[in-house]
Amino acid sequence: MKNVILYNPYSNNKRGQESAKEVEAFVTGETVFEDITKIKDILGYINNADAEDKLILVGGDGTINHLANDLKGTVPDKEILLFAAGTGNDFKADIAPAENEHFISLNKYLSDLPTVTINGKTTYFLNGIGYGIDGYCCEVGDKLRAASDKPVNYAGIAIKGLLFHFKPRNATIIVDGEEKTYKHVWLAPTMKGRFYGGGMMVAPEQNRLDQSREVSTVVMYGSGKFKTLMVFPSIFKGEHVSHKEMVEVRKGHNITVKFDTPCALQIDGETVLNVSEYTVQAK
């Protein structure tokens, strides 16, 4: 029996290989390291592994997203364990917040993932789609990481964006055929899990294993910058949804969000620039 450590060298601010070596402290026996970005047929690789081998994926939300899209919606026969070592780890916060849970079985969470389509390209997602000031924060964060090795303060980016830089949009949102328009929209994410952005509980009632397979679109809208700034910190505890006058949660299977002015969008933390609309389909 050997431990096969699957890692993404670009995860954890390009410290993925270093993070992978941390697993050795929690396993016994022979250890083999494999860069998943170099495996062309990941499903075949996993299913053809020796029966007694233990497969361990090391990384965060982006690494799991990478795996899910390489699998193309197919869940492997062999168990895959997750050793969370990313920068955000919103997936782990959602399903296994206890710090002593070093390994999490991934397979059941890879089943029936929703897809998002942007500019004709369709991908699976694990946690959620951020659109609005959340996407703006990822855009700015990417620029800061490219210029410096210092940790990125997303809360600080959000506050400055609310006060000075991000301009809210008008939006049209269609949920299972029901169309509504919103003015002064600050964010309009669609969530499979509860968390995104490194600990923001944007969709506190969302259950990723709910048999209905619905996702939640959360719209923060209609308020000025100062009230939004006052309410925004409550998103870390999921308390923002109590402000019904400025936050609406809509659940469904087929969702389209359109902004009147393009802005950045994030998929499990990966940024897509200049997006006018996205469409989510939940199986």
Which amino acid type is present at position 163? L
Side chain identity at 183, as an amino acid letter?
K
Using pLDDT thresholds of 50, 70 and 90, give the confidence band for residue 1: confident
How far, in Å, CA of 144 to CA of 186, rounded?
Answer: 22
Q: What's the order of all strands across the beta sheet hosting 2-7?
A: 30-35, 2-7, 54-59, 80-84, 104-105
- Looking at the structure, tell me whether residues 272 and 142 fall in a common domain: yes
| Model pLDDT, residue 64 | 93
The per-residue pLDDT for 99 is 53
User: What is the helix, strand, coil percentage profile of the chain, to 5?
Assistant: 30, 35, 35
Q: How many residues does the structure list for the chain?
A: 283
Could you tell me if 162 and 275 lie in one domain?
Answer: yes
Contact assessment for residue 221 and residue 245, using Cβ atoms and an 8 Å cutoff: no
Distances (CA, A) of 263 to 52, 117, 166, 210, 250: 48, 16, 9, 31, 22
Q: How many C-beta neighbours within 10 Å does residue 250 have?
A: 19
Decide which of 50 and 176 is more confident.
176
- Counting the structural domains of the chain, the total is 2
Residues 230 and 123 in one domain: yes
Residue 84, domain CATH:
3.40.50.10330
Nearest C-alpha neighbor of 252 from the set 226, 213, 278: 213
Q: Are residues 215 and 163 in the same domain?
A: yes
Q: Region 145-169: what's the mean pLDDT? A: 87
Does 102 lie in the same domain as 53? yes
The full DSSP string for 15-74 is: THHHHHGGGGGG--SEEEEEEGGG-S-HHHHHHTS-TT-EEEEEE-HHHHHHHHHHHTTP
Q: Residue 175's pLDDT is what?
A: 98
Q: Based on the domain organization, do 96 and 172 belong to the same domain? A: no
pLDDT confidence of residue 19: 85
Alpha-carbon Rg for the chain, nearest whole angstrom, is 19
Tell me, yes or no, whether 256 and 130 share the same domain: yes
Q: Cα–Cα distance between 175 and 178 in angstroms, integer?
A: 5
Reported as a pLDDT band with limits 50, 70 and 90, residue 12 is confident
pLDDT confidence tier of residue 178, bands split at 50, 70 and 90? very high
Q: Cβ distance 75 to 109 under 8 Å? A: no
Q: Which of 109, 131, 156 is the last residue of a domain?
A: 109
pLDDT at 194: 97
- Output DSSP code: residue 165: I
Model pTM?
0.92
Contact 134, 196 (CB under 8 A): yes
Note the pLDDT tens digit of each residue in 23-39. 998 898 899 999 999 99
Distance CA 260, CA 87 (A): 32
Domain with 164, as residue range(s), is 115-281
Q: Are residues 50 and 171 in the same domain?
A: no
> Do 137 and 240 share a structural domain?
yes
Task: Note whether 225 and 252 are same-domain residues.
Answer: yes
Whether 151 has a pLDDT exceeding 90, the answer reads no
Which residue, of 89, 109, 129, is where some domain finishes? 109
pLDDT of residue 100 exceeding 60:
no
Asked if residue 264 and residue 174 are part of one domain, the reply reads: yes
- Whether the per-residue pLDDT at 174 is higher than 90: the answer is yes
User: Taking 90 as the threshold, does the pLDDT of residue 18 lie above it?
Assistant: no
Confidence at 85, pLDDT banded by 50, 70, 90:
confident
The answer on 159 and 96 residing in a single domain is no
The 3-state DSSP class for residue 94 equals helix
Domain final residue pick, 94, 109, 124: 109
- The two beta strands, 190-191 and 128-131, are antiparallel
